[in-house]
Structure 1
Amino acid sequence: MTAVVEENTILEFKGRMLMMTVLQLNDLDPGTLHQQVSQKMVDAAQWLRDAPVVIDVANHVDADQVSLLTAVDTLRGLDVNLVALARNEKLDAETAAMLGLGSISLLGGREVARREEPRKAEDDNSSESTIETLVVEQPVRSGQQVYSRGDMIVLAPVSPGAELLAEGNIHVYSNLRGRALAGIRGNGNARIFCQQLNAELVSIAGHYRVAEDLPEEHRNQAVHLSLEGEAMQFNALK
């Protein structure tokens, strides 16, 4: 008789999309950095203060180790949640490790997105009939995340702390107070429509605006959001 031994699995790898904020440093002066970042952190919503941050010092590829370490220490002292350094031809994974950070290639991510666009268009045409629009009739509450492989239509309020993610367009026929991320797989033609814009964050194909950066004239109004190049456009819905 063969004994069956059950393995106790102590870990599990899971795939999940996480949004990171890229902080581009145009000046490594610790005094200036402390002043401007501390003010930004005071103004930022809680989710932004907790967001994982990648620092991009591409404008300072020849900076010495002391300057880089001082900048990182300044940011950590302000409770910025640093997770990685954006690497390039001169700032590599070894530099990131010296700073106590991981390393991410931002350039590589953009190149992959451009190469995949023609193939994705073909995939979209071939599977157009199989991807359905997701309709959400219940309120989306804080802590909830809703995902759609196509378009998403929400017929109820979206609370602060809730998150909508769609590979296509997002329509919210109520008050949008959480986060709405459309075109999350790089579809720059995706759009966001909402009846009342009070969002913590809106994003199209990775280009985003946080609550503090929303145009005042469009707050609490019916708005249509789209991309022109890398700039987000806000247009009133009538």
Structure 2
Amino acid sequence: MTILITGASRGIGAALLAHYRHTSTPAFGTTRHAEGDLIPYDVTDATSAKALARRLNGLPIDLLVCNAGVYADKGQALEQGYAPALWERSFATNVTGVFLTVQALLPNLRAAQGKIAIISSAMASDARAPGGSYIYRASKAAALNLGRNLAADLKPEGIAVGIYHPGWVKTEMGGPQAEITPAQSVAGLSARFAALDLATTGCFESYDGTAIPF
């Protein structure tokens, strides 16, 4: 089993990579800038996505975790905030980046009849709309929609797609006031990934297995 995790230099991505490597599972991580043994990869750049595919050279990927993401509009005010550049950066990373990654690595996923895990957020749910964080919520909702449609298109090929909320995690993004540790999130997420199959493809679940309303 071979795993590839985007955005693995910090936070949940780094914790997931460490978890799989601790279990001796072949796992690769990417980061925007070269760092240690991580693969340099900019999810917003189609040329970089193609370079990643060339570097993997047809390696079968059993699990692709699309984790790279940004929360660029935290604390923005409705009246003066949410500049267009924040929208562009957020959608380029949180939505287009997922698509470019999946598109570039389709041959690798097909070779293994692998799975795709998209890290979204409960903030993507239309049923849970308390206001604020407009860009992040909109981009994660788009990632959810993307995942649901990929699930429909890839199911006939035996590739399952799941969309997941990692919890409110004590990371640089989540902040020290968050509810759970990276270890708790990873324990739950890895169990969700293992359970993902064609019968549950298109699921939108929390790290603890709770189904999230769309």
TM-score (norm 1): 0.24
The structure with the larger Rg is 1
The structure with the greater share of residues assigned to strand is 1
TM-score (norm 2): 0.25
